[in-house]
Chain A
Amino acid sequence: MNKKMYLRNTGTFLLFGGPAVFAFAAVVFIPFIVGLFLTFTNWDVRIGDSSLVGFSNYVEVFKDKTFLTQLWFTIKYVFFTVLISNLMAFFIALALTSGLKGEKWLRTGFFTPNLIGGIVLGYLWQTLFSQVLPYLGKKYEWALFSSSWLTNTDTAFWALVIATAWQFVGYLMIIYIAGFSGVPGDVLEAASIDGANRSTILRRITLPLSVPAIVICIFISISRSFLTYDINLALTKGGPFNSTELASYHIVQKAFLSNQYGVGQAEAVVLFAVVAVFALTQSYLLKRLEVES
C-alpha cells in the first residue's frame, strides 16, 4: 500500500512538475553552477581546452582598467537614469491621480514607450540624435546640437540616459499610481481642511505614505538599468572608441567577440554583486522612512 502510494506520488510529481523542473534545471540552474565553475578556469573557445586557475579571473577583472572604467561609467549612467525617470514618473503619476478628465488617455500615452523593445527604441533615438537634432542645431545655430550627440563621449552619455529614462517613465508611473491609490483620501481631506497647503501635503503625507512604491520603483530601475544592453547596442554601439560601453555590453563583447569566457563570466558575477549591493542598500535605507497611515 505504502509503495503504491509512493509510486503514485512520484507519478504526480513527474507529470505536474517534470517538464518545468527539467527546463528550469537545463536552462537556469545547471548553467548557473557551470558558470560559477567557469570563473575558476581559463576556458577558451579557440583552444577548446581548460584548466583550473583559481581566482586569477577575478584578479584579472579588478586589474582590467577598461572594465573598471566602464563599471564606473555604468554606475553614473544608472544614477542619472534612476533619478530622472523616477522624478518624472513620480510627478506624472501625482498629476494623474488628482481626478482630472482624460486621465486614462494620458496614462495610456505615457506608458507607450515601454511597449517598444530596447533595440527598436535605441534605433529610434539613434535616428533622432544623429540626424534630426544636428539639423536643428545647424538651422537655428544651437551650439548644443551643432554636432551629433553620439560622436562625443559626454553627450553620448546623456543620450543613453535620455533614451533609457524615456522607456522607464511609463512603467514606473504605473507603479507610482498604484502606490498613490493606497494613500487614504480622508487623510488628505483632513489635512486640507486643517489648512495644509499642497506642498505640505506632498511632503508630509503623500511622500511618506508612498515610500513602499518608491522603494519598488528605485529597486526595479536600478536593477534594470545596470543590465542595459539593447539600448547601448542600438544607440552608440559602445562608441566613440568604446567610451560608452556599459558593463553588460562589455561582458557580451568579452565573451562572444574576444572569446574569453572565464573572464567574461567573472565580470558578469562581479556585475551581479554590484547590482545586488546597490539595490538592497537603497531598499534598506529607504524602508526606514516608511510610516503607517
Chain B
Amino acid sequence: MTARKFTPAIKSLFLYLLLFIFLIPFIMILMNSFKKTQQFVESPLSFPSSIGFENYANAFKKMDFLQGFVNSMLITVVSVILIVIFSSMTGYLFVRFKWKVNTILFFIMLASMTLPFQVIMIPLVMLYGNMDLLNMKSTLLFMYLGFGIPFGVFTFHGFIKGVPLELEESAYIEGSSRLRTFFQVVLPLLKPVVVTLVVLDVLWIWNDYLLPSLVLISPGLKTLPLSTYAFFSSYSVDYSPLMAGLIMTIIPVLVLYLFLQNQIIKGITEGALK
C-alpha cells in the first residue's frame, strides 16, 4: 500500500525535474539578462552578482521597445477585431443564406486553408509593391484580415450551424433588420468561438515575423519581433542587452498567458482539432 502511494509522488517529482530541465534555456537567458556582458561570457552559470537593470534600459533604447510595442499592439488588436467582425458576419451569411455563390465561396475559402504562406508571399509582395502599397501599417492590417478570414469563417460557420433559427425569426417579426438582428441576437451567442479565435489570432499575429518583415521597411513601423534584429545589426553581438530585449519581448505574452491560461489552452485545443 505504501509503495502505491509513493509512486505518484516520485512521478510528480520526476515530471517537475523534467519541466525544470525543459525550461532551462529560458531560465538561463533570464538569469544572464541581469549580468554585464563580461560576467556573462566569463561565468554564464553563476547567479548575477547584483540585480541590475542597465541591460534592460540599454535594450529598451536600442530596439526602440516602446515604438515596437505600440506598433505590435496596434496591429494585433485592430487586425483581430477586423477578423472577428467580418468573418463572423460572413460565416452567418454562408450558413443562413444557401445561395450558390455562398457555397462556392465557402468551398474556395476552405480549400485555401491548405495553402502555406510561402506560396502566396512572392506574388503578394510583387502586387502590393507595384501598387506602391508596401511599407504601411494599414496594408499589413488588410493582409492579416485576408489571411485570417478563411479560418475565421470556417470556425464561425461550424458554430452558427448549431444556433437555432427561432431567436432570429422572432427578432425579424418584431421588424429588426438583418444587420441589427445579427449584432443584437446572433453575435452575443458566439462568445465561446470568439474567445477561441481571438486567442489563436493574437498569438499568430503578435509573434509573426515573415509577413511584417516583407511589408514594413521603415524603422518607425517595426513590430517587436522585427525590432529584435537591432541587436544583430553590427558585426559582433552584444549579448547582455540582447537577452534583456528577448525577455522584454516575451513578457507581454507571458503575462497574457498567466491571466488567460484556461482560455488559451482551450482555444489551442479547439483550433488544432478542427
Contacts and interface: CB of A to CB of B under 8 A. Distances in A.
B182 to A, nearest CB: 7
A38 B11 CA distance: 57
18 contacts: A9-B97, A16-B92, A20-B153, A23-B149, A26-B142, A26-B146, A27-B124, A30-B127, A31-B123, A34-B123, A38-B126, A102-B16, A110-B22, A112-B254, A119-B207, A124-B25, A124-B29, A268-B118
Contact of B16 (A106, A115, A169): A106
B243 interface: yes
Nearest to A22: B146
B90 A124 contact: no
- Please name the 10 residue pairs, one residue from A and one from B, whose CB atoms are nearest each other, closest first: A27-B146, A117-B207, A16-B93, A35-B123, A20-B90, A23-B146, A20-B86, A31-B123, A34-B123, A31-B124
A25 B29 CA distance: 43
B246 A124 contact: yes
B122 A16 contact: no
A272 B182 contact: no
A198 to B, nearest CB: 11
Contacts of A118: 207, 209
Interface in B79-106: 86-87, 89-90, 92-94, 97, 99, 101-102, 105
Contacts of B123: 31-32, 34-35, 38, 261, 265
Contact of A117 (B122, B127, B206): B206
B105 to A, nearest CB: 6
Given A23-B142, A117-B207, A125-B25, A131 B126 contact: no
B146 A28 contact: yes
B228 A261 contact: no
Given A38-B122, A43-B126, 14 more contacts: A25-B146, A28-B147, A28-B150, A98-B8, A106-B16, A117-B225, A123-B232, A124-B26, A128-B29, A229-B209, A252-B210, A265-B119, A271-B116, A271-B118
A23 B15 contact: no
A221 B178 CA distance: 42
Contacts of A108: 257, 261
Contact of B150 (A24, A271, A272): A24
Contact of B19 (A16, A106, A271): A106
- State which size class the interface on A falls in: 35 or more
Interface in B23-37: 23, 25-26, 28-29, 32
Given A29-B108, A127-B239, A227-B118, A107 B265 contact: yes
Interface class of chain B by DSSP: helix
B195 to A, nearest CB: 16
A12 B45 CA distance: 64
Interface in B15-59: 15-16, 18-19, 22-23, 25-26, 28-29, 32, 40-41, 43-45
Contacts of B125: 255-256
A269 B118 CA distance: 8
Nearest to A116: B250
Interface string A172-206: 00110010000000000000000000000000000
A101 interface: yes
Given A115-B257, A117-B207, A268-B122, A27 B142 contact: yes
Interface of A: 9, 12-13, 15-17, 19-21, 23-32, 34-35, 38, 43, 45, 92, 95-96, 98-102, 106-113, 115-120, 123-125, 127-128, 131-132, 135-136, 166, 169, 171, 174-175, 178, 216, 220, 223, 226-227, 229-230, 233, 248, 251-252, 255-256, 261, 264-265, 268-269, 271-272, 275-276
B107 interface: no
Given A100-B11, A111-B265, A229 B119 contact: no
Given A12-B93, A15-B179, A123-B228, A109 B119 contact: no
B116 A112 contact: no
Contact of B116 (A19, A31, A174, A275): A275
A120 B89 contact: no
A14 B16 CA distance: 55
Contacts of B105: 17, 21
A219 to B, nearest CB: 10
Contact of A128 (B23, B25, B118, B231): B25
Contact of B120 (A16, A31, A178): A31
A19 B86 contact: yes
Nearest to B153: A20
